[in-house]
Amino acid sequence: MATSAGAQGRGPGLTLNRANNPAAEAARAKAAAGDCKAALDLFDEALRRSIDPTLYRDRGARHEKLGDVFPAIDDYRAYLSQSPTAPDYDKYRQRLDDLIKTSSQDLAPNLGRGGDFDSEMRGGVTDGSTPVKRSKSSDKDDDKDKDKDKDDHAKTDKPKANDDRPLNAIEYEEGRDKQAEGGALRKGKGFVVGAYLYPRFVANPWNFGFGQGVGVRAGYSLNSWSSLFLELGYMAQLSGGDAERADGFTTMFAWEMRFPFDRWGDNQFVFSVGGGYENLTNNLLGQAYASFVARGRAGWRHVFGPGFALDILADGGLMGTAPINAPPGGKGFGLGAFVGGIVAVDVAF
C-alpha cells in the first residue's frame, strides 16, 4: 500500500501515448467544441504529462484563433523543431511564417532575415525571446519615432511586417538586392577586368581604312553608376593606302557611366568618354605613325549572375596623327576620324 501511495504521489510519467493523457483528449474536445480558452488550460496540463509535439501544434492553433500571436508563434516553432518530418510540416511552417510577417510592427525590427522560419530558428529575434504586447503609452512613444523615420523606411526595399507577398518572393528579391548592391558591374564598388574585340574604319590623310584590334581592360567601379578603365590592345590596319598593313599598340583611359534599365541592373545603357595613344608601324616602309585619340562609346550591357557581363557598343572619335621619321616632302601632322564597334566581356571581383 505504501508503494502504491508513493507512486500516486509522483503522478504519471511523461508519455507520447495519447491514450495515457486524459488532459490532451479533454483539451482537444474543448477545442472541437469551440471553447478555446478552456482548451488552453487543458493543453497546459497535458504538456506537463506528455512530450507529444502535436500538443504544441494544437495549442498554437487555439492561440492563433484567439488572436494571441506571439504564444502561437512559440508553439508552432516548438512543434516544427521537434517534428521536422511531420506530414503537415510545410503547412504549419507556412502558418508560422504568415504569423511572423503579419504580426505587429513591434516584431519587425527584431526579425533576422525578413521574418522567416529558418531565421527564427537560428535566433532571428535579437533579444532571445518572443516580444510581448506593448502598453498603449509605449506605443505612443514609438509612434513618434516611427514618424521621424518614416522617410528612411520608405527608401528601403526590405519587406514590411504586413507584406503579403509569398516568402520565397521576398527572399528572392532580398537576394537580388544584395547581389546588385555588391556587384561592381551593377551598383557596387570593386575591380573589373575584361577583354574586347574592336573592328573600325579610319578616314585620315594616310587612308588607314579598315582595321581590327583586340585587347584587355582593367578598371574600378567608383560607385553605383561610374567606373574608370584603362585599356591596352593590339591594332592592325589592313586596307590599302600609305599605312598598308600597319600594326602596333593602342591604349585608352576612360570614364564610364552606366544607367540601368531595371531594378537590379541586369540590362544597362553604358556611355564612356576618354582619350588614348596609338603607335602603328608599317614594317615594309619602316614608317611609324603616332596618334592621339579622343574617343566616345555608347551601347548595351547585359550582366549575368553576380559579376559577368557582355557589352555591345558603338565607338567613334577623332584622331590626330603624325608620322615618325617621315621622308622629306612627306605628309606631316593630320586629323582624321574613325567609327567602329566593341564586343567585350567583363568579370567583376
Band of residue 258 on the pLDDT scale cut at 50, 70, 90: very high
Instruction: Select from 136, 167, 199 the last residue of a domain.
Output: 136
Is there a domain that residue 150 lies in?
A: no
Is there a domain that residue 293 lies in?
A: yes
pLDDT at 282 over 50: yes
- Specify the DSSP element, H or E, that contains 251: strand 246-260
Band of residue 304 on the pLDDT scale cut at 50, 70, 90: very high
195 in the same domain as 129: no
pLDDT at 295 over 80: yes
CA angle 293, 298, 299 (to 5 degrees): 140
Is there a domain that residue 305 lies in?
A: yes
Band of residue 225 on the pLDDT scale cut at 50, 70, 90: very high
**Distance from C-alpha of 311 to C-alpha of 348, rounded to nearest angstrom:** 14
343 in the same domain as 195: yes
What is the rounded average pLDDT of the residues 34-60?
Answer: 89
CATH of the domain at 93: 1.25.40.10
Band of residue 331 on the pLDDT scale cut at 50, 70, 90: confident
Threshold 0.95, pTM exceeds: no
Phi then psi for residue 200, to 5 deg, are -155, 170
CA 302 to chain centre: 16
CB-CB contact of 322 with 331 (8 Å): no
What local confidence, expressed as pLDDT, does residue 199 receive?
96
Band of residue 10 on the pLDDT scale cut at 50, 70, 90: very low
**DSSP helix/strand/coil, 292:** strand
pLDDT at 7 over 90: no
What local confidence, expressed as pLDDT, does residue 27 receive?
85
**Distance from C-alpha of 293 to C-alpha of 252, rounded to nearest angstrom:** 8
pLDDT at 264 over 60: yes
- Specify the DSSP element, H or E, that contains 196: strand 190-203
Is there a domain that residue 125 lies in?
A: yes
pLDDT at 287 over 80: yes
What is the rounded average pLDDT of the residues 229-248?
Answer: 82
pLDDT at 47 over 50: yes
Task: Tell me which DSSP letter residue 15 carries.
Answer: B
| Better-predicted residue by pLDDT, 85 or 130 | 85
214 in the same domain as 117: no
| Better-predicted residue by pLDDT, 153 or 347 | 347
User: Structural domain of residue 273, as residue ranges?
Assistant: 190-348
246 in the same domain as 128: no
- What percent of the chain has pLDDT above 90? 46
CATH of the domain at 209: 2.40.160.20
| Better-predicted residue by pLDDT, 167 or 4 | 167
What is the rounded average pLDDT of the residues 266-295?
Answer: 92
Residues 89-135 have pLDDT tens digits of 999 999 888 888 877 544 444 444 444 555 545 444 444 444 444 44
223 in the same domain as 102: no
129 in the same domain as 201: no
Phi then psi for residue 93, to 5 deg, are -65, -40
pLDDT at 67 over 60: yes
**Distance from C-alpha of 124 to C-alpha of 120, rounded to nearest angstrom:** 4
What is the total count of domains within the chain?
Answer: 2
Is there a domain that residue 227 lies in?
A: yes
**Distance from C-alpha of 97 to C-alpha of 166, rounded to nearest angstrom:** 10
Amino acid making up residue 10? R
Residues 164-181 have pLDDT tens digits of 678 788 888 889 999 999
pLDDT at 25 over 90: no
Band of residue 156 on the pLDDT scale cut at 50, 70, 90: very low
Name the one residue in this structure whose C-alpha cell is 471553447: 35
200 in the same domain as 281: yes
304 in the same domain as 194: yes
What is the rounded average pLDDT of the residues 286-296?
Answer: 93
What is the rounded average pLDDT of the residues 329-334?
Answer: 79
What local confidence, expressed as pLDDT, does residue 123 receive?
45
What is the rounded average pLDDT of the residues 224-250?
Answer: 85
**Distance from C-alpha of 324 to C-alpha of 228, rounded to nearest angstrom:** 31
CA angle 73, 79, 82 (to 5 degrees): 135
Q: Which three cell numbers stand for residue 320?
A: 590626330
pLDDT at 6 over 80: no
* CA-based nearest residue to 313, from 239, 254, 264: 254
What is the rounded average pLDDT of the residues 194-209?
Answer: 93
Amino acid making up residue 189? K
Is there a domain that residue 167 lies in?
A: no
Is there a domain that residue 161 lies in?
A: no
100 in the same domain as 215: no
pLDDT at 273 over 60: yes
Residues 52-66 have pLDDT tens digits of 899 899 999 999 889
**Distance from C-alpha of 72 to C-alpha of 75, rounded to nearest angstrom:** 5
Instruction: Select from 136, 164, 180 the last residue of a domain.
Output: 136
User: How much is the mean pLDDT over the chain?
Assistant: 81
Is there a domain that residue 183 lies in?
A: no
